[in-house]
Structure 1
Amino acid sequence: MSKRMKTKYPGVYYRDSQRVGGPGKEKVYYIVFKKDGKMIEEKVGRQYIDDLSPAKAARIRSERIEGKRLSRKEIKEQEEAKKAAEAGKYTIEKLWQEYKLNRPSGKSLKIDQGRYEKYIEPVFGRKEPQEIIKLDVDRVRIKLLKKLSPQTVKHILNLFTWIINYGTKNNLCHGISFHIQKPSVNNEKTEDLTPAELERLLKAIEEDENIEVGNMMKMALYTGMRRGEMFKLQWRNVNLDTGFILLKDPKGGPDQKIPINDIAKDLLNSIVRTKSPYVFPGRHGGMRTTLGVAGRRIRKNAGLPDDFRPMHGLRHVYASMLASSGKVDMYVLQKLMTHKSPKMTQRYAHLRDEALKDGAGQIDDIFKQASEKDKIIKIK
């Protein structure tokens, strides 16, 4: 190492060194000063690569003495301390990663992954829960409601709430000091079909080229099964001998059995089995993930409203027909629909009431007919 040389500025020195990034030599500048009773020597930079001169080095020395500038060592220590603090911080992004690991994988997690990445992470990902204020969440809710349905926005805000609650329950972070308001949702859309519409639908199904989708639509109408339940239905879970279908994880709940009526049994017997384990296989025999355009095409050809859902709507039609028959009580209907609570089945109660009223009204006809034949004794 070369000898340290003085400059004309007090406390500023240099050493000659091999130039970095070029031929020849360059000066490496050092400053010496006293701080907190200690003599300190610091390297402040190089002549060319740092564009440093004795005058600039002297200015840095003055700022260091006055406490206006941190040394390279102090800057490095601060950066390391900041990294350590950030490593211990549980931001929404870090909480999401933890929360995700403790959730079962599947379709619902994939959907939530998309919701998080698109709507939550860009706004709140870098923040800790205690840094989030109510106004931030309100603004996001209002903005989302301009382009998304209330139900979708509710799903997004529910996920946001679950992530924060996971952190607080596991003592990873402080919670928020306010309630996250979710949009009110009227989700009791209950499709039904008139006899004429039902006739047109069955005709459109029979005439459509996509036999598999047609069979799925008929299965929804005959059994009330959900679309997702049919997508993952395997032959090993269909027992035509006992007359029951085992539904695996229906809507995330425990496995349940539903009976196979005669018309559904005939449909299942008509399906040509392949090497695929699935009753309604998708591409290459794997699990189906979509109906494609066939469902919408059949709906259009049947002349049904554009908002009629080809699969879920038929599930409602199945339930409505049973309820309006007057022969199925609400408890049995709940079990057939695999509803988790009676409240979900209550949307069909008015149809049951109408059937009961119609049934009670039959007594009018009986007495009228009897009166005409003089078979009734008049009571005074």
Structure 2
Amino acid sequence: MATIRKRGFGQWQAQVRRKGFPTESATFETKIEAEAWASNTESSMVRGVYRVLKIAERTTLCQLITRFKNEYAQFHYKKRADGKEAWKFQAKHLEEKLGEKSVADLDQRLIAEYRDERLKVVSGTTVRKELYLLSKILGFAEMECGINLPNGNPVLKIRKPAESKSRDRRLTDAEWSEFERECRKSRNADLWPLVALARETCMRQGELLSMQWEDIDWKRKFVMLRDTKNGEARSVPLSPIAIQTLQKIPRSLGGKVFKVDRLTLLHAFHGARKRAEIDDFTFHDIRHEGISRLAERGDFSVLDMAAVSGHKTLTMLSRYTHLSSEKLANRLETAK
């Protein structure tokens, strides 16, 4: 049977005694929480899952994340071109805020508080990714570790923040001219070729940095990307400008096209941007510029653009359709 006692200001102790089990007790801030714990503990004893619940109470989120890393992540998550793993950045924040909590303590209220606090610092998209990872880790606990979650998966029971508004930063012709000039003047010889290829091919930064010479088919004018964000290989067509850019790069017998690492590239990129006096412009915005130019041509369908950019869903490309529609409308006007 369960006994509930008040222990000082704002503390309630629940104690459960049942034949065949050791006496269990826990302290809570409210009487309702104490009664709920006692009821769940007694119920788990009756249903024969008490020992499984004890594992959840003894396992902290930090410990669970360590198991997730060693038993799952290293086999299923690919490293980025710079050798880092994106999920670790998300896990770091989960560990800082929730790491000392036991798995059994994780409930909707706690996760909702985490969500709201993180939204004060980072974007909704970032918080969504962190919550998705937490949900995956808790699913791993249930499916792979046999840890019963007394509150179920709380991430599935809370409201997720909305996706952040997509960036729409594009340089004017004058800005592009000045930016190109500064990139070409950079001491980093790889900067302008990378910028030019990003604009011509719509490749992501990591895809460019992992590109291999042996994967370029000069005759058929495409490059086969084997290390992509989506984890699936894809071929990217090479425009005449892209081919000319690649042909000017000093070529080794094999290996990567670009030897520069991600941090060095970003340092050179931001240096050129500042010298050109351009604000609010990221390397990823160059990919957006490339896709926008494809849409503006008017002869590329959304499926064509998806084949080039590597988007797995057409939803991500929907914001570019108005550009192609405007171009087609102009063509219809001139065809009269």
Tell me if structure 1 keeps the 8 A contact 2:128–2:160.
yes
Structure 2 counterpart of 1:229, from 198, 207, 210: 207
Tell me if structure 1 keeps the 8 A contact 2:213–2:256.
yes
Answering whether residue 89 of structure 2 is matched by residue 114 of structure 1, we say: yes
1:305-320 alignment to 2 at 5 Å? 306-309=279-282, 311-320=283-292
Answering whether residue 153 of structure 2 is matched by residue 176 of structure 1, we say: yes
Structure 2 counterpart of 1:332, from 292, 297, 304: 304
Amino acid at match of 2:280: D
Residue of structure 2 in register with 1:347 after alignment: 319
The structure whose RCO (Cα within 8 Å, separation 6+) is larger is 2
Q: CA deviation at 1:90?
A: 4.2
For residues 118-166 of structure 1, give each alpha carbon's deviation from its aligned partner in whole angstroms, at most 9, with x where no partner exists: x222443343434223222222222222222222222222211111122
Q: Distance in 1 between matches of 2:223 and 2:272?
A: 26
Tell me if structure 1 keeps the 8 A contact 2:295–2:323.
yes
Question: What is the total number of aligned residue pairs between the two structures?
Answer: 274
Q: Distance in 2 between matches of 1:87 and 1:354?
A: 57
Answering whether residue 335 of structure 2 is matched by residue 363 of structure 1, we say: yes
Q: Distance in 2 between matches of 1:270 and 1:168?
A: 54
Tell me if structure 2 keeps the 8 A contact 1:226–1:312.
yes
Q: Distance in 1 between matches of 2:259 and 2:166?
A: 31
Q: Distance in 1 between matches of 2:134 and 2:267?
A: 33
Q: Distance in 1 between matches of 2:183 and 2:98?
A: 47
Q: CA deviation at 1:180?
A: 3.3
Judged with a 3 Å threshold, the aligned counterparts in structure 2 of structure 1 residues 184 and 105 are, in CA distance, closer, same or farther, namely: closer
Q: Secondary structure at the match of 2:236?
A: strand
Q: CA deviation at 1:199?
A: 2.5
Answering whether residue 135 of structure 2 is matched by residue 164 of structure 1, we say: no
Q: Secondary structure at the match of 1:102?
A: helix
Q: CA deviation at 1:275?
A: 6.2
Tell me if structure 2 keeps the 8 A contact 1:145–1:153.
yes
Q: Distance in 1 between matches of 2:292 and 2:202?
A: 10
Structure 2 counterpart of 1:322, from 286, 290, 294: 294
Q: Distance in 2 between matches of 1:97 and 1:274?
A: 40
1:18-29 alignment to 2 at 5 Å? none
Q: Secondary structure at the match of 2:157?
A: coil
Residue of structure 1 in register with 2:63 after alignment: 94
Residue of structure 1 in register with 2:10 after alignment: none
Tell me if structure 1 keeps the 8 A contact 2:169–2:280.
no
Greater shift in the superposed pair: 125-134 or 227-236: 125-134
Tell me if structure 2 keeps the 8 A contact 1:201–1:298.
yes
Alignment gaps of 5+ in structure 1: 1-81, 365-380
Q: Secondary structure at the match of 1:251?
A: coil
Tell me if structure 1 keeps the 8 A contact 2:57–2:104.
no
Judged with a 3 Å threshold, the aligned counterparts in structure 2 of structure 1 residues 123 and 303 are, in CA distance, closer, same or farther, namely: closer
Tell me if structure 2 keeps the 8 A contact 1:201–1:302.
yes
Q: Distance in 2 between matches of 1:142 and 1:192?
A: 32
Q: Distance in 2 between matches of 1:343 and 1:98?
A: 35
Tell me if structure 2 keeps the 8 A contact 1:90–1:173.
no
Judged with a 3 Å threshold, the aligned counterparts in structure 2 of structure 1 residues 357 and 184 are, in CA distance, closer, same or farther, namely: same
Amino acid at match of 2:130: I
Compute the TM-score of the two structures, normalised by the length of structure 2.
Answer: 0.74
Compute the TM-score of the two structures, normalised by the length of structure 1.
Answer: 0.66
RMSD: 2.5
Greater shift in the superposed pair: 204-213 or 216-225: 204-213
Q: Secondary structure at the match of 2:171?
A: coil
Q: Distance in 1 between matches of 2:262 and 2:176?
A: 26
Alignment gaps of 5+ in structure 2: 1-50
Judged with a 3 Å threshold, the aligned counterparts in structure 2 of structure 1 residues 140 and 206 are, in CA distance, closer, same or farther, namely: same
Once the two structures are aligned, what percentage of the paired residues are identical?
27
Residue of structure 2 in register with 1:299 after alignment: 273
Residue of structure 2 in register with 1:141 after alignment: 115
Where has structure 1 moved over 6 Å in runs of 4 or more? none
Greater shift in the superposed pair: 322-331 or 98-107: 98-107
For residues 193-242 of structure 1, give each alpha carbon's deviation from its aligned partner in whole angstroms, at most 9, with x where no partner exists: 33232222222322333221111011101111110001111111122122
Q: Distance in 1 between matches of 2:158 and 2:139?
A: 12
Q: Distance in 2 between matches of 1:165 and 1:107?
A: 22
Q: Distance in 1 between matches of 2:255 and 2:132?
A: 35
Structure 2 counterpart of 1:258, from 232, 236, 240: 236
